[in-house]
Amino acid sequence: MVDIVESNTKFAPVDRWAKLPMGITFRGDATSVATDSKDNVYVFNRGNEPIAVFDSDGNFLRGMGHGEFVRPHGIEIDKDDNIYVVDDDGHFVQKRDNDGSVLFTIGNKNKPCKWQSGGIFNRPTDIAIHPETGELFVSDGYGNSRVHKFDRDGNHILSWGVPGSDPGEFSLPHNITMIGLDRIAVCDRENFRLQIFDLDGKFLKQIHLHHPMSITQGKLSDDRLYVGEMIPPPVQQGVPNLGAKVSILTPEGDMLQQIGDKLPGEGLWQFTSPHGISTDSEGSIYVAEVAWTNYFSRPANSGLDSTPLGEVVSLRKWEKVT
């Protein structure tokens, strides 16, 4: 645990928090995580229960979405506990009720817009929901350089962003969150920064971080930003203090503290790939990791490739202890 700036908040990891029943696996990739009004935890993953639901103690409650997704990527829960999922290789976003029934779909499954055209969608990544209006903001994505805004019913309002590294431009907008009621934060992953916008896409500021790949704002009275940082490329593997951490910031972007070890790994205090992040009403942090895709499948980690899929740690909980 590393404190960057004086902070009275401390966190500790919970060993083996998620209790997966026999036969259920994330296949090494828990891509994203969200919590509902009862602090139940929803894990979008690439295993045999694509939407896996746990209670706050890690007990498995139910699963849904069997065979309905191409490549799970992002998840969010609104104030009424509806579920929003983002399928990047499927090129669609869905709103579902809490039982998993589809309420509407944005985009056409398996039919992407033209690559880097700014259309809807080409490998979208994540979604943010305005807590009062229900407006939707979708980061898009691996095959686009865009943020799209929709009304609460999924009707398109506006879009912004083009490929590039100047303010308002993107190189893989990978995760997105509301900041309060009037700002949007985007993990501009390959530009190594967060970009902050107003609700109409006006650029406000940028914040440098190492490879930011996931972001959320805390629940209830917790207005801090929690950012998961990706590990470095293979050429820098083994260099300490380059990603594989969760950075905790003020709403204005000032660093408060970081959690995670100096190097990535499967240890209790380590991360491998903080791909999705959420918090609950108690201040706990949940981190979903694409551990297999981003860490164990790397050539430099070939000695670990014999680890059975589903056995690697891909979901972590850190409890607030003070």
pLDDT single digits (tens) 164-189: 999 999 999 999 999 999 999 999 99
At residue 312 the predicted structure's pLDDT band, cuts being 50, 70 and 90, is confident
Nearest to 317 by CA among 52, 76, 56, 59: 56
On whether the CB atoms of residues 189 and 212 are closer than 8 A, the answer is yes
What's residue 220's pLDDT?
86
Q: What is the pLDDT of residue 14?
A: 97
Encode 255-311 in three state secondary structure. Answer: EEEEECCCCCCCCCCCCCCEEEEEECCCCCEEEEECHHHHHHCCHHHHHHCCCCCCC
Q: Which two tokens stand for residue 289?
A: 């990791």
- 90 pLDDT higher than 80: yes
- The CA distance from 95 to 314, in Å, is 25
Task: For residue 292, name the pLDDT band (cuts at 50, 70, 90).
Answer: confident
2-31: average pLDDT: 82
Average pLDDT, the chain: 93
Q: 11-320: what fold?
A: Neuraminidase (2.120.10)
- Other beta carbons within 10 angstroms of residue 52's beta carbon come to 26
pLDDT of residue 300: 56
Gap between the terminal Cα atoms of the chain: 14
Cα separation, 281 vs 286, whole angstroms: 12
Tell me the HSE value of 213 on the side-chain side, using a 13 A CA sphere. 24
Is the pLDDT at 258 greater than 60? The verdict is yes
> For residue 195, what are its two tokens?
């970009």
CA 70 to chain centre: 18
Task: Judge whether 161 and 169 are in contact, CB under 8 Å.
Answer: yes
pLDDT at residue 309 above 80? no
Rounded to an integer, the average pLDDT of 101-117 is 97
pLDDT at 306 over 50: no
What's the chain's length in residues? 322
The residues spanned by each domain of the chain are 11-320
Q: Model confidence at 5, in pLDDT bands (50, 70, 90)?
A: very low
Tokens of 111: 């039919």
Q: What is the pLDDT at residue 301?
A: 54
Question: What does residue 237 show for φ and ψ, rounded to 5 degrees?
Answer: -60, 135
